[in-house]
Amino acid sequence: MNNNSSEYLNFIDEALELAKKLPRHFSKFSNKIYDNHQKLVIVVLMQKLKMTSRDIVKWLEVNEFVRLSIGLSRVPVHTTILRFLKKVKNLIGKLLDIRQADSIAIDSTGFEAEQKSYYYRTVWNSEKKQKARRYVKLSVAVDTDKQLILTHKIRMGPRNDNIDFKGLLKELKVQYVIADKAYSSRKNRDFVFYNLRAKPIIPRKKNEGGYNVVHGRYKIEFDDKLYHQRSKVETVFSVIKRKYGSVLRSKKFATQRVELICKLIAYNLDRKIKIYFLFLRIAPEPLNKTFLNTPKFFICMPRGMYKSRTFRRVYVKTPGGKTVIHYEKRKPKQAHCAVCKAVLHGVPRLNPTRMMNISKSKKRVSRPYSNLCSKCMRNKIRESLR
Ligand SMILES: [Zn+2]
């Protein structure tokens, strides 16, 4: 047995272990030739190998090792597999059940729902007006350390991102929630902060108003370095689509959903095996927790007097990398001519206390009537001569 086939056998062992969460048979009257555990392994394997149900049957026929490790005495017909896809739709979601992580990232992506090629759909059928892009939308929460999928939500696309945010997070125990601008809203931040007791790292939308707004009781310091961890979700999407295909072969949404979940299960299993081997070889830790330990987040409620905009806010970056707010008094108005109200140049805009400390020559212009502009000064002198 070479290395490649042992990879499959590892995968099957893990899948069989996972399948134990399913009941052995859906009904006590079922014919009990194959049990649900074996069928699930076949279905997940089908996604891993990017095969159709007919292909996997043929593949199993020639592959004795695999058949043995799944425990199949004979090879099922392809319709058995398809029927299983239909039946398992309510239970299969429970198989992805990791609920704890340090930091998670949330994002969504689309999977093509039909096998017709892009050319066939658009160019060849170009007279048809109906060109609406139909796809299946997958939203996931991903552990950014281990890159495992925690929770998922699958819908018919197109749909907005925001609706699935709470649903994805509800049962999770996390410290940081990283998401992109599409999820930016006060409700989402409040949910993460108050319900999960975690820290939301979501950038603000352009039109969302003030920079670093104080939200209720807490203030979020946006951290670029942590936010960069979000790209792990995109990595996961890219891996799933490359390894297990971005097209769903089923025609009905319910079975498309099962197919997609099988892809996710296959991904998680592969990833777990990989992490396991990394630890066996005592490779450098694949987890980058180091900078997660330094919280860049603090609760702050400004003193009452600082809540108003009487004071100017200055954002100062401290040596520790934090950004803190300094409240400074606003500058007084520019000095004006006492008669015509024109701006007086050469008179600095300083607070009275500072004004007291600078030299007399800097406070005013060196000409008679220094509270008047030059024109008004001339008029004044002429008047006094008459
Ligand atoms: Zn004047």
> What is the distance in A from the centroid of ligand 1 to the CA of 341?
6
> What is the distance in A from the centroid of ligand 1 to the CA of 309?
32
> What is the distance in A from the centroid of ligand 1 to the CA of 336?
8
- Residues in the chain predicted with pLDDT less than 70, given as ranges, are 1-5, 115-118, 121, 125, 128-133, 209-221, 280-300
Q: Is the pTM of this model over 0.75?
A: no
Per-residue confidence (pLDDT) for residue 134, from 0 to 100: 75
Per-residue confidence (pLDDT) for residue 131, from 0 to 100: 58
> What is the distance in A from the centroid of ligand 1 to the CA of 347?
14
Exposed (0-12), middle (13-18) or buried (19+): which is 386, by Cβ within 10 Å?
exposed
Per-residue confidence (pLDDT) for residue 285, from 0 to 100: 47
Could you tell me the residue ranges of all domains in the chain?
Answer: 3-92, 96-124+132-208+219-268+281-290, 334-386
> What is the distance in A from the centroid of ligand 1 to the CA of 348?
18
> What is the distance in A from the centroid of ligand 1 to the CA of 369?
11
> What is the distance in A from the centroid of ligand 1 to the CA of 364?
15
> What is the distance in A from the centroid of ligand 1 to the CA of 344?
9
> What is the distance in A from the centroid of ligand 1 to the CA of 329?
29
Take residue 270 and report the two structure tokens written for it.
Answer: 């592969």
State the pairing for strand pair 176-179/199-201: parallel
Query: Was domain 96-124+132-208+219-268+281-290 assigned CATH 3.30.420.10?
Result: yes
- 57, 39 contact by CB (below 8 A): no
> What is the distance in A from the centroid of ligand 1 to the CA of 290?
65
Query: How far apart (Å, rounded) are the C-alpha atoms in residues 364 and 56?
Result: 91
Tell how far CA 327 is from the center of its chain. 33
Give me the sign of the Cα torsion angle 304, 307, 311, 312. positive
**Phi, psi of 341, deg, nearest 5:** 65, 20
- 231, 178 contact by CB (below 8 A): no
